[in-house]
């Protein structure tokens, strides 16, 4: 299966038909096909699952702790909103720079040190006794997330051959929904407890939310350990001319997947032959390539094609699509616990109203309370009810369905058609939220919106992997995610403003933005 005839590689003069040689990337794809899909890829996907839980925790843990930590950290509504947004500021700061450096220095180093640093910063957040320290830790978590997220996605894709890459990436995208379920369940278990520990005569206090963050930090530690023992991308090694290192990685994959001796890999000698050919003539250059200065020069050289046709056009289109998709995804995902709590607070004895009537009533009550504000001597935190956690778990479970289906459909229907259909359905779901009056219907529509927009984000990443070469791929995805995170910031700032103007305006605006995205593609 996919064998390379090494003997013919040296007989191109005698056989003119053999002059057409394969590029190193094509040879790598053939070798990956021969390695197959096995235990190595299972371990790789397990590492990415743990890593995505750690990554999702950067932004997804904050909505759960805001109600219970508002007194401990002395937060008002504006500070809560800023705390929700600050990880995305950190992500925006680091993503593009990290993408440029990742294409130059490799994926693994950013995964190991990125998640290792994330573990330390999450411990700092869990130990926070003041708002400033907690916000600073969340900012650093966002910076480290931006450094490590894109290498995590790319490393998985670059260990897969072309025939399975799209399906594996779609399957990997479902891990984000699984992460949401895990985070919600852990929050439900820990935040419902009345844990409290006092140390150093009351100067250091740990509440349930502190322990919750401590538990979530373990995911980053596990990710760091996993990627320490996994190799770097063979595609990265080839792009740097390190064929011997790429060959070593292929041998390891082949041996792990097939349980056979590495020498039985049909193209095992091909990589060493390439290296021998270069060994004498490029010995001095090879030493320089490994130097920091040469790597930086190479990285800047790789930037040039990004800002020329056709890559520039692709980059602008994909970034605009990602801006709108991430805006919808993170607005619905991050605001769902709050909206669910509002609906829950109305109680079952109230006359049935649609969602917008309840939200408009809630915002009107907030304005009335602000106008008649009285001085409160004590601060009593509000705990989310069980329904909020249960509905969050349901949302994560429902979000898996479109991702699983798209994994099977992507090769049959095509990425573009699947993206168009997902976008149209999400428009309908967003408009439906305006008139929903049942809590079950609201959960279903929110879940569909989150799942479909998440599938669209994965398809957008698949477009990027397909259209951009290896030397600029990480930078392209980093720019894609940076623009998308700007969309998240804009959406989360404007959504409460639009809610104050009228609930209908919020959902009509979100639906209109998705229609614009459908027209652009």
Q: What is the pLDDT of residues 488-507, one digit of tens each?
A: 888 887 888 888 888 888 88
Select from 458, 511, 500, 454 the least CA-distant residue to 333. 454
Note whether 213 and 187 are within 8 A (CB).
no
pLDDT, residue 51, reads: 92
Task: Kindly report the length of the chain.
Answer: 521
Q: Is the pLDDT of residue 372 over 50?
A: yes
Question: What does the pLDDT look like over 61-102, one tens digit per residue?
Answer: 888 887 788 778 887 666 777 788 888 888 888 866 776 677
Tell if the pTM clears 0.85, that is, is over it: no
3-class DSSP assignment, residue 205: strand
Q: How confident is the model at residue 424 (pLDDT cuts 50, 70, 90)?
A: very high
441: nearest Cα among 360, 343, 328: 343
pLDDT higher than 80, residue 448: yes
Q: Does domain 23-304 have CATH number 1.20.1250.20?
A: yes
Q: What is the mean pLDDT of residues 473-484?
A: 80
Name residues whose C-beta falls within 8 Å of residue 135's C-beta, 6 or more positions apart in sequence. 82, 83, 86
How big is the CA angle at 434 (ends 433 and 438), to the nearest 5 degrees? 60
163 and 238 Cβ atoms separated by less than 8 Å: no
State mean pLDDT over 446-466: 84
pLDDT for the residue numbered 366: 66
- Enumerate residues 6+ apart whose C-beta is below 8 A from 163: 33
Output the pLDDT for position 297.
66
- More confident call, 137 vs 75: 137
Fold assignment, 308-366+384-521: Growth Hormone; Chain: A; (1.20.1250)
Percent above pLDDT 90 for the chain? 12
Q: Per-residue pLDDT averaged across 468-495, rounded?
A: 81
Q: Which of 140-144, 344-348, 489-493 has the lowest mean pLDDT?
A: 344-348
How big, in percent rounded to 5, are the helix, strand and coil portions of the chain? Answer: 80, 0, 20
CATH 1.20.1250.20: which residues of the chain?
23-304, 308-366+384-521
The two tokens of residue 320 are 């605009």
- The residue ranking higher by pLDDT, 378 or 105, is 105
Mean pLDDT score, 134-138? 91
Q: How far apart are CA 423 and CA 429, in angstroms?
A: 10
Helix 503-520 × helix 415-433 angle, to 10°: 170
Binned at pLDDT 50, 70 and 90, residue 288 comes out as: very low
Three-class SS of residue 197? strand
- Mean pLDDT (the chain, rounded): 78
């Amino acid at each position: 299966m996919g064998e390379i005839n090494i003997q013919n590689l040296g007989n191109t003069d005698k056989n003119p038909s053999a002059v057409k040689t394969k590029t190193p990337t094509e040879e790598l794809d053939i070798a990956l096909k021969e390695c197959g899909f096995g235990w190595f890829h299972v371990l790789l996907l397990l590492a990415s699952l743990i890593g995505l839980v750690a990554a999702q925790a950067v932004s997804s843990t904050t909505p759960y702790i805001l109600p219970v930590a508002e007194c401990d950290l002395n937060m008002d509504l504006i500070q809560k909103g800023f705390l929700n947004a600050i990880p995305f500021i950190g992500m925006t700061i680091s993503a593009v720079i990290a993408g440029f450096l990742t294409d130059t220095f490799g994926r693994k180093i950013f995964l190991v040190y990125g998640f290792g640093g994330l573990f330390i910063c999450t411990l700092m957040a869990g130990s926070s006794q003041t708002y400033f320290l907690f916000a600073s830790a969340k900012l650093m978590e966002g910076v480290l997330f931006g450094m490590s997220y894109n290498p995590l996605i790319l490393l998985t894709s670059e260990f897969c051959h072309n025939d399975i890459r799209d399906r594996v990436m779609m399957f990997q995208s479902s891990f984000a929904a699984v992460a949401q379920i895990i985070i919600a369940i852990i929050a439900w278990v820990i935040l419902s407890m009345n844990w409290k520990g006092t140390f150093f005569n009351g100067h250091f206090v740990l509440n349930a939310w502190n322990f919750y963050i401590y538990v979530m930090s373990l995911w980053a530690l596990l990710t760091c350990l996993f990627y320490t023992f996994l190799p770097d991308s063979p595609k990265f090694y080839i792009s740097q001319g390190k064929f011997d290192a790429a060959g070593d990685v292929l041998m390891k994959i082949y041996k792990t997947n097939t349980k056979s001796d590495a020498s039985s890999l049909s193209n095992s000698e091909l990589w060493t032959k390439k290296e021998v050919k270069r060994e004498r003539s490029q010995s001095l250059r090879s030493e320089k390539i490994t130097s920091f200065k040469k790597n930086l020069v190479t990285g800047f050289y790789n930037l040039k094609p990004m800002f020329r046709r056709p890559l520039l056009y692709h980059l602008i289109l994909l970034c605009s699509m990602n801006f709108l998709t991430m805006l919808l995804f993170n607005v619905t995902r991050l605001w769902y616990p709050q909206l669910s709590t509002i609906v829950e607070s109305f109680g079952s004895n109230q006359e049935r109203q649609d969602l917008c009537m309840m939200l408009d009533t809630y915002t009107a009550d907030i304005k009335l309370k602000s106008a008649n504000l009285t001085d409160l001597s004590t601060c009593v935190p509000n705990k989310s009810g069980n329904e909020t956690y249960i509905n969050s778990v349901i949302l994560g479970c429902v979000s898996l369905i479109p991702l699983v289906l798209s994994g099977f459909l992507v090769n049959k229907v095509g990425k573009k058609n699947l993206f168009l259909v997902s976008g149209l359905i999400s428009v309908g779901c967003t408009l439906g939220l305006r008139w929903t009056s049942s809590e079950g219907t609201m959960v279903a529509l929110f879940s569909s919106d989150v799942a479909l927009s998440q599938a669209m984000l994965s398809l957008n990443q698949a477009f990027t992997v397909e259209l951009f070469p290896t030397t600029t791929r990480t930078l392209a995805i980093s720019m894609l995610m940076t623009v998308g995170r700007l969309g998240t910031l804009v959406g989360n700032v404007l959504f409460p403003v639009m809610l104050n103007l009228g609930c209908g305006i919020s959902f009509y605006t979100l639906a209109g933005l998705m229609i614009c995205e459908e027209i652009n593609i």
